[in-house]
Amino acid sequence: MRALIAVLPGDGVGPEVTKEAQRVLQAVAERGDHDFTFREALIGGIAIDETGEPLPVATREAVTHADAVLLGAVGGPKWSDPSASVRPEQGLLGLRALLGVYANIRPVAVHPALAAAAPLKPELLENVDIVFVRELTGGLYFGQKTHDRDASGASTRASDLCVYTTEEVERVVRMAADIARARRRKLLSVDKANVLATSRLWREVTTRVMRDEFPDVALEHALVDSFAMHLITTPSRFDVVVTENLFGDILTDEAAVLAGSIGVLPSASLGDASTDGLRRGLYEPIHGSAPDIAGKGIANPAGAILSAALLLRHSLGLTDDAALIEAAVSETITAGIRTADCVGPGQRACSTADFGDAVLERLFARSASMH
Ligand code: NAD
């Protein structure tokens, strides 16, 4: 298969982890006789430094023509002045809007060998395997904002409007239900319907879509406050979870604690499927630019490499290759090869590149045994 992949390394550890993910994609291409062309472009702080804009025209053009986009991370202290009119995060929001990606998929599986790295009791983490589907382009983050000040300039009042339309809820629920159908046929919808009007709309639309279009998938509803507690006390109960933008942002960071390190979790942001069933998407690890460890070559590239696996699965339809990468990452962790964020007492930490090498080695060994 031929594919054009836009690579946007971004800031901080972004380039370090993206490099490893790209090496893995290249190796998959060579093994499988695929022809992947990588087109690198600027985003975030580095794009501001070089062009004055967080999402330059050349980057817009590169992603518009690409079959999929692989992103590192954006931001850092150098560009974090809140009064600045141009900020790295604008590049990310602009990119999501440009690609029309309205659902953020975040699988959270706990690797048994990493259970000890999490702050929870290991027995709570057995069999945890959740897929979060977060609505990404609506709700509070995109509603109208006001900020009033008095004559002295002091803040007096501010507001963020939360708006959801029926269509925005329908499309993300359909995507979550499709994912649930391919797993354990269980979908949990999280809202705050006892208080918020948008949540009552969310619950009504979700109930209708599931009843009419997915009668084979069991639907449950939960209120966000109690779900936040159950996610930590009984995480293995949950399978596919769909929720709105703000709740999803917070709950998925909470869920990252289950996995032992934020460095191991991937994400896919997807829009509508084309006629061949594939979706153009944006793939990135869930972590940020980690300025505290950037430039040291010690960042965990697992989240970025697993994001590359999601890219193969959702945008290119290469499900076997995606599974091959996931197995190679899992075997690497099982073998005790860990970056500093995942090591236990007395264990030696490897570098970002060492982890990438170890994944590639296992990838080659697996694909050789399949031929
Ligand atoms: P962060 O995710 O960058 O870092 C949080 C902690 O996790 C840090 O201690 C960091 O060292 C560690 N960490 C993160 N990724 C790691 C990895 N791959 N391996 C090992 N350890 C890792 O979050 P933050 O510190 O709140 O934010 C730093 C910057 O990143 C900010 O400018 C923020 O706006 C930006 N950010 C960007 C994105 C994105 O690009 N999607 C997401 C979140 C934060």
List, in order of start, the domains of the chain with CATH numbers. Answer: 1-110+266-371 (3.40.718.10), 119-259 (3.40.718.10)
Other CB atoms within a 10 A radius of the CB of residue 338 amount to 27
299 CA distance to ligand 1 centroid (A)?
Answer: 10
The ligand 1 atom nearest the CA atom of 284? 41
Specify the residue with its C-alpha closest to ligand 1, atom 17.
263
Ligand 1 atom, smallest distance to 287 CA = 2
Nearest to 78, CA basis, from 42, 49, 43: 49
Distance from C-alpha of 302 to C-alpha of 158, rounded to nearest angstrom: 40
pLDDT digits (tens, 9 = 90+) for 41-57: 999 999 999 999 999 99
CA triplet 164, 179, 139: central angle to 5 degrees? 15
- The amino acid at residue 239 is D
**H/E segment holding residue 108:** strand 103-109
Tell me the average pLDDT of the chain.
94
DSSP string for residues in 111-177 = -GGGGGGSSS-GGGGTT-EEEEEEE-SSGGGTS-EEEEE-TTS-EEEEEE-----HHHHHHHHHHHH
Please report the atom of ligand 1 found closest to the CA of residue 72: 40
Q: Which of 262, 265, 298, 305 to mutate to test the pocket of ligand 1 (most atoms within 8 A of CB)?
A: 262
Distance 131 CA to ligand 1 centre (A): 21
Instruction: Report how far ligand 1's centroid is from the alpha carbon of 217 (Å).
Output: 35
Euclidean distance between CA atoms 266 and 263, whole angstroms: 8
Question: What's the whole-model pTM score?
Answer: 0.92
User: What are the tens digits of pLDDT across the range 266-281?
Assistant: 999 999 988 787 888 9
Atom of ligand 1 nearest to the CA of 302: 18
The sign of the CA dihedral 302, 303, 307, 309 is positive
CA of 290 to the centre of ligand 1 (A): 4
Residues assigned a catalytic role:
141, 192, 225, 249, 253
What mean pLDDT do residues 181-185 have?
95
At 113 the pLDDT is 86
Quote the radius of gyration of the chain (alpha carbons, Å): 21
Residues with CB under 6 A from ligand 1: 13, 17, 73-76, 80, 92, 262-263, 284, 287-293, 299-300, 303, 339, 341
Sign of CA dihedral 349, 355, 314, 64: positive
Q: How far is the CA of 233 from the centre of ligand 1 (A)?
A: 25
185 sits in the region (left: phi over 0; alpha: psi -120 to 50; else beta) called left
Q: Which of 243, 231, 198 is nearest to 120 (CA)?
A: 231
Structure tokens of 156?
């007096």
Which residue among 95, 136, 287, 352 has the greatest number of ligand 1 atoms within 8 angstroms of its CB, and so is best to mutate?
287
The CA-atom distances, in angstroms, between 84 and each of 81, 88, 243 are 6, 10, 32
**Mean pLDDT along residues 68-97:** 93
pLDDT tens profile 351-369? 999 999 999 999 988 766 6
Is residue 371 predicted with pLDDT exceeding 60? no
- 113, 169, 341 from 172: Cα distances, Å: 33, 6, 33
Q: From 177, 170, 106, 179, select the one nearest 138 (Cα to Cα).
A: 170
Distance 289 CA to ligand 1 centre (A): 5
Using the atom order of ligand 1, give the atom closest to the CA of residue 73. 40
Other beta carbons within 10 Å of 178: 15
- Helix 14-32 vs helix 352-370: angle between axes, to the nearest 10 degrees? 10
Read off the pLDDT of residues 132-162 as tens digits, 9 standing for 90 and up: 999 999 999 889 999 999 999 999 999 999 9
| C-alpha closest to that of 28 among 320, 303, 333 | 320
